[in-house]
């Protein structure tokens, strides 16, 4: 339940960090990396929590 709340929030935080890092270009390489990691984490958690991923039967 808590992951369903945190997943979108971490995704938004990742997007903000990525935008801020891109705005700062080179000195913000840490922000860019942190934002990408947050976005990937959010995407993986959302995939894991989706009911469709649990019921896949291989194309049928």
Tally of domains in the chain: 1
For the entire predicted model, the pTM comes to 0.53
**Does residue 28 form part of some domain?**
yes
**Does residue 60 form part of some domain?**
no
Sequence-distant (6+) residues with CB within 8 A of 42 are 7, 8, 10, 11, 14
pLDDT tens by residue, 1-30: 787 777 778 877 877 777 777 777 766 676
**Does residue 57 form part of some domain?**
no
Domain span including residue 33: 7-39
Res. 56: pLDDT tops 60: no
**Does residue 53 form part of some domain?**
no
């Amino acid at each position: 339940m808590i992951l369903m709340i945190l997943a979108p929030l971490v995704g938004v935080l990742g997007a903000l960090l990525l935008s801020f890092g891109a705005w700062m270009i080179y000195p913000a390489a840490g922000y860019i990396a942190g934002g990408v990691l947050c976005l990937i984490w959010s995407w993986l958690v959302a995939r894991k929590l989706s009911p469709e991923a649990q019921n896949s039967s291989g194309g049928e």
